[in-house]
Amino acid sequence: MFRYPFRPDRLIIIIIFAFFILALPPIAEAGFNDSPDAYKAAEVDLESAYWQKVYRSREEKWPREEYKPLGYKKIDDVPFDPRFEIEDLDQGIHGFMETEIDYDIQKFENWFRESTKTVLNRVRLEYSKRTVIDDVDVEFLGSVDGRTNIYDVNYSLYRDNRFDLRELWAKWLLTDFSFKFGRQIFNWGVVKGDRPSDFLNPQDYYKWLVPPHEDRKIPVWGVSARMYLNPTNDLELAWLPFYENSRKASNNTDWLTENQRKVEYWRTQGKVNPVIQEITPDEEVKNGTVALRYRSITPEENDTDFYMSFITGWEYDPLLVKGDLIRVGSEDIPTRIRLLHERRKSLAFGWETAYFYDKEQGGSGKLGLRGESCITFDKPFARRYINSTGEDIVKKIYLESVTEIDHSFDEESLYMNLQMRFDAILDHDEFVDRVDSTIRVRYQFSHDLTSLMNSLNRYSAETMHWLKTGDLKKEVSTSMFKPGRLNLNGLFDYDFTLNDYFTRFWLWYQMSSSLHMETGINSFGGNSKVERYSQFDDNDEFFLSLKYGF
């Protein structure tokens, strides 16, 4: 351990200065600095064949968030085979390198626990290939992921290093059938953010729910088979034989979850070091996760797609159960803690539609509607009061429902998404250590600032031309920002029942065809310190990240 070599105020000044130097080139230099070939490559990247054929008709592309929509449509009469996952442009070796700097802008009540500065480094290397073996189309994908987190606690540095095998799978594609085997990521559901029916993969909660849903997914070993019943319907069966835990932050950081904080509190305040026993499922065939999904995809743009799925598997987040309590002062402190993993059976439904309109109808854009509901018949919860039989948990019927509407304005380059979520324990009683229902609203937007920035750039260039030549009539043509290169984004997630919220505002700037930057603020809040977001209300932070793709 060693002391940090710079002061926080100097760090902020350096970051802001670096942003303006990198993001805003001298306005006197008209035009975009990249060569025509580089810009052409950027267009290919942003408007790739896969994006054109699969995504664009049903879902907007967001920075750092990969989202596979329910339907596979045709754009400009260009057909796309929905069986393929690897497009021509994606074959070969590729990956990215990312560095993120986080600075805590709110002091923690316990100074010895606060991590004021964090540097996260991430590297991913991926190889993908599509070929033909014995007249059968075959796809391969393998990727590795390395991460280094450097953070300070009480002016001392700590480091967490991790190197993981990410995805490693092969897929065989027949005429009406496909078979996929290996370590893979599943994308089920239709709404943005956390999808109720998309829980086949465990999550990486290092920074809790700040990273996008797709970035938090941990691949799992499994087998999936899909049968194409006809051009608009398919049936998919997935089997995951091995159980894998979700990941939490290490004990030295201030991103501990509520259960982790409880254990730390009992250790420090109760002067008791509880014995922790985690009971994980045995790796047997009967303990595997099985999932079945049916999808109906209509060929027309304005029609409704539908899916239904059934999953029987494990809760990836274990329940904390206290045992062998002793009295310390006015509190009962456990000397033994068990982390229990329980199974669940869930039935989910989802639908999605989109309405496209053109300028003849008063403008151009897209209106999307989606809905998703998941009912779990035996959702496990920690029991508030231990009954006479000594049962630690109670299982209830649990409903999760999300309704979503989004709107894309082509002329204004604006995208908005509004989401209403309702969660409820249908047979709630006093033994459940949780409220009976919650209502949450999630609002997200993305605005392309290209027109605004180019107008400012043109005005500045013309002003400099006037100062140099005295000519007020000459128009200087400048286009420092190409369409889609600079976006203002916002996210607001609020729980009405618990008065619990998370806000995130950030700028996304594509510096070149391979390099983009993000900078913004994350903020947490609420009435308590134990809910979804309010437990991190001392973790408000400013962040700056650079990501280079190759």
- Position 281 scores a pLDDT of 82
Least confident segment among 12-16, 67-71, 76-80: 67-71
73, exposed or middle or buried, with CB in 10 Å at 0-12, 13-18, 19+? buried
Residues with Cβ within 8 Å of residue 401, at least 6 apart in sequence: 196, 371, 372, 373, 374, 421, 422, 423
Q: Phi/psi at 60 (nearest 5 deg)?
A: -80, 145
**89-102 average pLDDT score:** 87
3-state SS, 22-76, equals HHCCCCCCCCCCCCHHHHHHHHHHHCCHHHHHHHCCCCCCECCECCCCCCCCCEC
Least confident range from 221-225, 456-460, 497-501: namely 456-460
Assess whether pLDDT exceeds 50 at residue 409: yes
> From its phi and psi, is residue 76 left (phi > 0), alpha (psi between -120 and 50) or beta?
left
Q: Which of 16-25, 214-223, 341-350, 534-543 has the lowest mean pLDDT?
A: 16-25
The verdict on residue 414 lying in a domain is yes
462 vs 47, more confident: 462
How do 393-409 and 414-425 pair as beta strands? antiparallel
Percent of the chain with pLDDT over 90: 27
Predicted confidence band of residue 235 (pLDDT cuts 50, 70, 90): very high
Tens of pLDDT along 122-138? 999 999 998 888 888 89
pLDDT (0 to 100) of residue 25: 39
**What pLDDT shows up at residue 464?**
64
pLDDT score at 225 = 95
At 361 the pLDDT is 53
Q: Is the pLDDT of residue 264 over 90?
A: no
Residue 23 has pLDDT above 60, yes or no: no
> 3 lies in a domain?
no
Q: Which of 87 and 193 is assigned the larger pLDDT? A: 193
pLDDT band at 527 (very low <50, low <70, confident <90, very high): confident
Choice among 111-125, 172-186, 191-205, 391-405 with the minimum mean pLDDT: 111-125
pLDDT at 50 over 70: no
| Amino acid identity, position 264 | E
Write down the pLDDT at residue 121. 93
Q: What is the model's pTM?
A: 0.77
- Residue 482 in domain: no
Average pLDDT of the chain to the nearest whole number: 76
In a domain, residue 186? The reply is: yes
pLDDT of residue 531: 76
Q: Do the domain assignments include residue 399?
A: yes
Residue 390 is predicted with a pLDDT of 52
The H or E element containing residue 346 is strand 343-357
Report pLDDT for 51: 31
Q: Look at the chain and report how many structural domains it folds into.
A: 1
- Distance, CA of 327 to CA of 333 (rounded, Å): 6
Of the pLDDT bands very low, low, confident and very high (cuts 50, 70, 90), residue 213 is: confident
pLDDT at 14 over 70: no
pLDDT score for 256: 78
Per-residue confidence (pLDDT) for residue 209, from 0 to 100: 80
Least confident of 1-5, 154-158, 280-284, 319-323: 1-5
Residue 415's pLDDT is 86
Highest mean pLDDT among 69-78, 171-180, 251-260, 359-368: 171-180
Domain CATH number, residue 236: 2.40.160
Domain span at 63: 8-475+487-549
Pairwise pLDDT comparison (40 vs 96), residue with the higher score: 96
The vertex-247 CA angle with 246 and 252, nearest 5°, equals 155
Rg (CA), the chain: 26
Per the domain annotation, does 44 fall within a domain?
yes
Q: Which secondary-structure segment (H or E) carries 405?
A: strand 393-409
232 in the Ramachandran plot: left (φ > 0), alpha (ψ -120 to 50) or beta? alpha
Q: Is residue 491 part of a domain?
A: yes
> How remote is the C-alpha of 61 from its chain's centroid?
13
Lowest-pLDDT range of 103-117, 162-176, 251-265: 103-117
Instruction: Determine, yes or no, domain membership for 59.
Output: yes
Residue 19 has pLDDT above 80, yes or no: no
